Structure 1
Amino acid sequence: METVFKKSKFSWEDYFSDKMKDEHRFSTEESLAKEAKEKLFHLNGRKTLLDFGCGAGDLLIYYVPHYEKIVGVDFSSSMLFEAEKKVRHHKYKNVDLILADNRTVWEKLDTKFDQITVAGVVQYLTPEQVDDFILNASAYLNEDGKISFFDIIDPKLYSLWKIGWFSQNFIHRDIFLRACTSCLKKISAFLENRPADTIGNSYSPQIIEKIARKNGFQMEYAKSMYYEYRYHAILSKIS
């Protein structure tokens, strides 16, 4: 009897299903406060905020004092459980947490927002999903509202970071060895039907801007202060 071996399909939902910690370079209270302060600078206040992909709430709890109402969304129940503990610890009353993904979140919302923030999430979406997200999000923005995609991985800069380019101890002769190691990891990941890097996909600013303009948004570009290979894309409606 002839049998056909089928690989199980990888999904980021499954990967994060039991995770309980967000991925930050530094997870100390001081460093998270600084990272949140940078993002709050770009968000520029107002009253209501949708934090899509809030994870364990590491940044969300720093946003709360600056808004009248915040809704945090994530597709990982274990992550939301951790976020809920943080919200209760700080005794915040102006936060709602919703279990949903980029497809189901919209049917669970009953209000519009001044700001929609998406931090470290674009890397887990396909270009088509990014397109759909912007299209759907635009219907839930108040007048002059903005969508802030934070910490998008820049493919060119990430490649340089991966080989240690930004390290103070960078040695040029190590480039070949690092490149070979990276190729072997990609081949292994392909054979095992898993991502070559659990950090996710990378998108150039030009790709994000093209998708944004297709949906009637203009994009403001800003480099991340804490990750050499990441950037922020602040989207506002073209007037």
Structure 2
Amino acid sequence: MSKPKSVWEEFFTGKRSGGHRSSAEEFISKEAREKLFHLDGGKTLLDFGCGAGELLVYYALEYERLVGADFSESMLDEASKRIRARKCENITLILADDKTVWEKLDFSFDRITAAGVIQYLTYEEVDNFISNASEHLNKGGKIVLFDLLDPRLYPLWKIGYFSRNFGCRTLFCKIGFEAFTVVSASLKNRPRDILGYAHKPCTIEKIANKHGFKMEYVQSMYYEYKYHAIMSRE
């Protein structure tokens, strides 16, 4: 008997896009450069929730050996196509979620990262993820969680505060759209917010500290309402 899919597994079934602000290669390359700056070296990397591999193929230019993991078969199919097109022979893809990925790894890493993924995990699941990741991290390694939803800024983004044409009209339109989205999601038994949970930086830092990491908070360059959590040991 197969285990039931989680609400997020069901939601992402058949999806083939990583959900970046823009799918233009110029934007993806800029986003990848920002993330590579914060990853700051290392030779081996695990990209959990690699999606369609948009960032992974750029990481492959800087790392000797990489593993991309995702629970979506359709996403991994797209990632595989992209990897073949870029001739990235140093990447291995595995089908796994945050609970099963660890048993499928056969070596440890200098960097473990996840971009735009942690918002789909509860605080308890984040705790377990960091705990498991720490056991697969080489000495001097880092866990870098990219693009977490900031609960202080995310509501402002949802009402259009960061848009160039923000005003009363934009505000009312955004509020109306959000109300429609909530009602529609309830009727379809879907998540009310497709971007998942907003996590407080202080709570993520407490979890990091619990597992022996210090955490650096960094505001995202390309997503006004997101932040990065860079975790390293003293």
**1:37 equivalent in alignment to 2:68:** no
**1:86 equivalent in alignment to 2:82:** yes
Q: Relative to structure 1, is the Cα distance of residues 164 and 99 closer, same or farther in structure 2, using a 3 angstrom cutoff? A: same
Please point out which of 8, 16, 31 is paired with 1:20: 16
CA deviation vs aligned residue, 1:108-149 (integer Å, no higher than 9, x gap): 001110000100001111111100000000000000110000
Please point out which of 119, 123, 137 is paired with 1:123: 119
CA deviation vs aligned residue, 1:34-84 (integer Å, no higher than 9, x gap): 000000000012110000000000000000010110000000111111111
**1:221 equivalent in alignment to 2:217:** yes
Separation in structure 2 between the aligned mates of residue 109 and residue 122 of structure 1, nearest angstrom = 20
Structure 1 residue ranges (4+ consecutive) displaced by more than 4 angstroms after TM superposition: none
Q: Relative to structure 1, is the Cα distance of residues 15 and 181 closer, same or farther in structure 2, using a 3 angstrom cutoff? A: closer
CA displacement at 1:9 relative to structure 2: 8.2
Separation in structure 2 between the aligned mates of residue 173 and residue 67 of structure 1, nearest angstrom = 47
Q: Relative to structure 1, is the Cα distance of residues 156 and 95 closer, same or farther in structure 2, using a 3 angstrom cutoff? A: same
Question: What is the match of residue 77 of structure 1?
Answer: 73
Question: What is the match of residue 205 of structure 2?
Answer: 209
Question: What is the match of residue 162 of structure 1?
Answer: 158
**Residues 46 and 111 in structure 2, CA contact (< 8 A), matched pair in contact too:** yes
- Which consecutive residues of structure 1, in runs of 5 or more, have no partner in the other structure? 1-7
**Letter aligned with residue 216 of structure 2:** E
CA displacement at 1:172 relative to structure 2: 3.8
Separation in structure 2 between the aligned mates of residue 92 and residue 181 of structure 1, nearest angstrom = 41
**Residues 151 and 199 in structure 2, CA contact (< 8 A), matched pair in contact too:** yes
**Residues 160 and 166 in structure 1, CA contact (< 8 A), matched pair in contact too:** yes
* Number of residue equivalences: 231
Separation in structure 2 between the aligned mates of residue 172 and residue 76 of structure 1, nearest angstrom = 40
Deviates more, 1:164-173 or 1:114-123: 164-173
User: Which of these two proteins has the greater Rg computed from alpha carbons?
Assistant: 1
Q: Relative to structure 1, is the Cα distance of residues 69 and 185 closer, same or farther in structure 2, using a 3 angstrom cutoff? A: same
Q: Relative to structure 1, is the Cα distance of residues 131 and 65 closer, same or farther in structure 2, using a 3 angstrom cutoff? A: same
Specify the SS of the correspondent of 1:202.
Answer: coil
Specify the SS of the correspondent of 1:83.
Answer: helix
Please point out which of 45, 50, 68 is paired with 1:49: 45
Separation in structure 1 between the aligned mates of residue 72 and residue 212 of structure 2, nearest angstrom = 31
**Residues 10 and 193 in structure 1, CA contact (< 8 A), matched pair in contact too:** no
CA displacement at 1:20 relative to structure 2: 1.0
CA displacement at 1:93 relative to structure 2: 1.4
**Letter aligned with residue 208 of structure 2:** A
Separation in structure 1 between the aligned mates of residue 129 and residue 112 of structure 2, nearest angstrom = 11
CA displacement at 1:183 relative to structure 2: 4.3
